[in-house]
Chain A
Amino acid sequence: MTAAAPIVEGRRVSKRFRDEAGRVREVLRDVDLTVTDGEIVCLLGPSGCGKSTLLRVLVGLLPPDGGEVLAHGRPLHGLHPGAAIVFQSFALYPWLTVADNVRIGLGGRAVGSEEEVVRVQGAVDLVGLTGFERAYPRELSGGMKQRVGIARALVGGPELLGMDEPFSALDVLTAETLRSEVARLWTEGRMGLRAILMITHLIEEAIVLGDRIVVLGANPGTVRAVVANALPHPRQPGTAAFQELVRSVHDIICTTHMPDVVPPSAPPPSAVLPLPRARIAQVVGVLGLLAERGGELDVYALDRLTGFDFGHTIAVVKAAELLGLVDTPHDRVVLTAEGRGLLAADVAGRKQRLGARLRELPTFRYVLDLLARAGGEVPRELLAEEVAMHLPAESPSEAVRTLLDWGRFAGVLTYDPETGMVARAPASALHAARAAR
Chain B
Amino acid sequence: MDGHASIRPGPDAPAASWVDGLVLAGLGALVAGLVAFARRWHAPLATAAAIDLSPRALPGYALLSLARGFAAYGLSLAVTLVYATAAAHSAAAARILIPLLDVLQSIPVLGFLPGLVLGLVALFPHSNAGLELACIVMIFTGQAWNMIFSFYASLRGIPTELREAGILFRLGRWRYFRTVELPAATIGLVWNSMMSMAGGWFFLTVCEAFTLGNRDFRLPGVGAYVSAAIDRGDGRAEAAGLVAMAAMILATDQLVWRPLVAWSARFRLEDTAPGVEARSWVLALLGRSGLLRRLAALARRRRRVPPRPGPRAGGRAAGVLRAAGRSVLVALGLGVALGVGQLARYLAAVPAAGWGRLGAALAATTLRTAATVALAAAWTVPAGILIGRSARLAPRLQPAIQMLASFPAPMLYPLVTGVLLAVGLPFSLIAVALMLLGAQWYVLFNVIAGASAIPGDLREAADGFRLAGWTRWRTLELPVVFPYLVTGLITAAGGAWNASIVAELVRFRGRTLVTTGLGALITEATAAGDFPLLAAGVLTMALTVVGLNRFGWRRLYRLAETRYALLR
Residues of A within 8 A of B (CB): 56, 59, 61, 79, 83-85, 87-91, 93-97, 100, 104-111, 113, 117, 136-138, 152, 156
A93 and B179 contact, CB distance less than 8 A: yes
Within the complex, the shortest CB–CB distance from A236 to chain B, in Å, comes to 33
Which of B165, B267, B271 touches A85 (beta carbons < 8 Å)?
Answer: B165
Indicate whether A79 sits within 8 Å of B271 (C-beta atoms), given known contacts A88-B161, A104-B179: no
Indicate whether A87 sits within 8 Å of B165 (C-beta atoms), given known contacts A94-B271, A96-B179: yes
14 A-B interface contacts by CB (under 8 A) = A61-B167, A88-B161, A91-B161, A94-B267, A94-B269, A94-B270, A104-B165, A108-B311, A108-B314, A110-B308, A110-B310, A137-B271, A152-B169, A156-B169
- Which residues of chain B are within 8 angstroms of A109 by Cβ–Cβ distance? 170
B4 and A96 contact, CB distance less than 8 A: yes
Q: Is the CB of B93 closer than 8 A to any CB of chain A?
A: no
Within the complex, the shortest CB–CB distance from B312 to chain A, in Å, comes to 9
Per-position binary interface string of chain B over residues 250-278, scored 1 when its CB falls under 8 Å from any chain A CB and 0 otherwise: 00000000000000001111111100000
Q: Is the CB of B159 closer than 8 A to any CB of chain A?
A: yes
For A88, A105, A108, the residue with the greatest tally of chain B CB atoms inside 10 Å of its CB is A108
- Which residues of chain B are within 8 angstroms of A106 by Cβ–Cβ distance? 169
B4 and A108 contact, CB distance less than 8 A: no
Which of B4, B161, B165 touches A95 (beta carbons < 8 Å)?
Answer: B4
- Which residues of chain A are within 8 angstroms of B2 by Cβ–Cβ distance? 95-96, 100
Indicate whether A108 sits within 8 Å of B183 (C-beta atoms), given known contacts A91-B161, A95-B4: no
Within the complex, the shortest CB–CB distance from A103 to chain B, in Å, comes to 10
Report how far A91 CA is from B160 CA in the complex, Å.
9
Report how far A156 CA is from B170 CA in the complex, Å.
11
Q: Is the CB of B48 closer than 8 A to any CB of chain A?
A: no
Which residue on B lies nearest to A61, using beta carbons? B164
Given contacts A95-B2, A100-B4, 11 further A-B pairs with CB under 8 A are A56-B164, A61-B167, A61-B168, A84-B168, A85-B165, A88-B161, A89-B161, A97-B4, A105-B169, A106-B169, A110-B310
- Which residues of chain A are within 8 angstroms of B272 by Cβ–Cβ distance? 138
Which of B162, B271, B304 touches A91 (beta carbons < 8 Å)?
Answer: B162
B309 and A108 contact, CB distance less than 8 A: yes
Indicate whether A107 sits within 8 Å of B171 (C-beta atoms), given known contacts A95-B4, A97-B4: yes
Report how far A208 CA is from B550 CA in the complex, Å.
56
- Which residues of chain A are within 8 angstroms of B306 by Cβ–Cβ distance? 113
Which residue on A lies nearest to B306, using beta carbons? A113
- Which residues of chain B are within 8 angstroms of A97 by Cβ–Cβ distance? 4
B: interface residue count bin: 20 to 34
Residues of B within 8 A of A (CB): 2, 4-5, 159, 161-162, 164-165, 167-172, 175, 179-180, 183, 266-273, 304-306, 308-311, 314
Within the complex, the shortest CB–CB distance from A48 to chain B, in Å, comes to 16
For A107, A117, A138, the residue with the greatest tally of chain B CB atoms inside 10 Å of its CB is A107
Which residue on A lies nearest to B309, using beta carbons? A108
- Which residues of chain A are within 8 angstroms of B266 by Cβ–Cβ distance? 95, 136
A-B pairs, 9 with minimum CB distance: A107-B170, A91-B161, A107-B169, A95-B183, A108-B311, A91-B165, A87-B161, A108-B170, A138-B271
For B4, B5, B170, the residue with the greatest tally of chain A CB atoms inside 10 Å of its CB is B170
A85 and B171 contact, CB distance less than 8 A: no
Which of B5, B180, B311 touches A93 (beta carbons < 8 Å)?
Answer: B180
Indicate whether A108 sits within 8 Å of B162 (C-beta atoms), given known contacts A84-B169, A94-B268: no
- Which residues of chain B are within 8 angstroms of A84 by Cβ–Cβ distance? 168-169
Within the complex, the shortest CB–CB distance from A22 to chain B, in Å, comes to 15
- Which residues of chain B are within 8 angstroms of A61 by Cβ–Cβ distance? 164, 167-168
Report how far A61 CA is from B273 CA in the complex, Å.
32
Report how far A84 CA is from B170 CA in the complex, Å.
10
Which residue on A lies nearest to B162, using beta carbons? A91
Which residue on B lies nearest to A156, using beta carbons? B169
Report how far A97 CA is from B267 CA in the complex, Å.
12
Report how far A380 CA is from B308 CA in the complex, Å.
57
Within the complex, the shortest CB–CB distance from B161 to chain A, in Å, comes to 4
- Which residues of chain B are within 8 angstroms of A137 by Cβ–Cβ distance? 271
- Which residues of chain B are within 8 angstroms of A56 by Cβ–Cβ distance? 164
Within the complex, the shortest CB–CB distance from B168 to chain A, in Å, comes to 6
Within the complex, the shortest CB–CB distance from A84 to chain B, in Å, comes to 7
- Which residues of chain B are within 8 angstroms of A110 by Cβ–Cβ distance? 308, 310-311
- Which residues of chain A are within 8 angstroms of B269 by Cβ–Cβ distance? 94
- Which residues of chain B are within 8 angstroms of A117 by Cβ–Cβ distance? 304
- Which residues of chain A are within 8 angstroms of B304 by Cβ–Cβ distance? 113, 117
Within the complex, the shortest CB–CB distance from B231 to chain A, in Å, comes to 51
Which residue on B lies nearest to A111, using beta carbons? B308
A87 and B164 contact, CB distance less than 8 A: yes
B161 and A108 contact, CB distance less than 8 A: no
Which of B5, B172, B271, B273 touches A108 (beta carbons < 8 Å)?
Answer: B172
Within the complex, the shortest CB–CB distance from A164 to chain B, in Å, comes to 8
B167 and A79 contact, CB distance less than 8 A: yes
Report how far A56 CA is from B309 CA in the complex, Å.
27
- Which residues of chain A are within 8 angstroms of B175 by Cβ–Cβ distance? 108
Which of A79, A93, A111 touches B168 (beta carbons < 8 Å)?
Answer: A79
Within the complex, the shortest CB–CB distance from B562 to chain A, in Å, comes to 8
- Which residues of chain A are within 8 angstroms of B4 by Cβ–Cβ distance? 95-97, 100
B179 and A85 contact, CB distance less than 8 A: no
- Which residues of chain B are within 8 angstroms of A89 by Cβ–Cβ distance? 159, 161
A91 and B169 contact, CB distance less than 8 A: no
Indicate whether A85 sits within 8 Å of B268 (C-beta atoms), given known contacts A79-B170, A110-B310, A156-B169: no
Report how far A155 CA is from B248 CA in the complex, Å.
50
